[in-house]
Structure 1
């Protein structure tokens, strides 16, 4: 089971690398890691397990955050309308996006960033992502809301981009042009 001890901090160079594609069909080792990423995200949202192991709550996780530069992510979140998004993907790729932007009014956080970072992070309001799940099935997802933001955050990790790279350095709370505000 992954714990906070497995995470790299934001100054680790691996978080600035472009992660390599996972050869498919995935090896047992890669499947085990992707399964562990999902297990962490799910466990971190369970108060009893999270308290027992000292896990910081998260809704998404990318392999580079646990010191593996491979293209895999896990997302587990429930939108306000109750819709559950629970996906563990190899080689996720954003293939289309809206012109309209969205941002979280509370800002974003990251399990590899152990400090508060203030500011709005502009993201695409709607995206389409493709990838391959643990069973080797191709998946295509049309996403909006918090799910779209979370997937973009995790895919950024695979490209060596941190969420705060998107924040306007001159005016962190500048409202992104053509955007909608989302509450978490």
Structure 2
């Protein structure tokens, strides 16, 4: 099974590149945000619990996120693998996620880490707000804070995968096609 963590700061192009990975390698996309929103919309017991945290502006606890992911993995055993978009976000999540996958006889093949300059990230996010109308991309101070939070709290997860020799840095600058070509080279090198 080809399980990939697609990693990078806000605006790095994870959404765009995950769609290409899914198509090329016949993988299933996993976004914890989408899974949580679906659980809330379906009014499941986990969705009801998650709503309590989200409605107060708090992060959903790791155990709940991992349970939602485990349910998805158990439901889709026929797929060739998964692209985990923006997950895990903490080292604790990565450790627990690894244990979960190991218990299922699986694991993460690699972490593709999109590396983009802060100036480019800011530009991409500002442009995205004009195209998609995303409120969280309109305010430059919010953009700067999102990048700062990523650098302080989330970027360290890469160290977990570096220690396992699964971390693949990818130059996230240039055209979408050039970036995807570099991603494909990284995937192929780990598939051998």
TM bucket (normalised to shorter chain) is under 0.3
The normalised TM-score by structure 1 is: 0.27
The normalised TM-score by structure 2 is: 0.26
Higher relative contact order (CA 8 A, sep 6+): 2
Structure number with higher helix proportion: 2
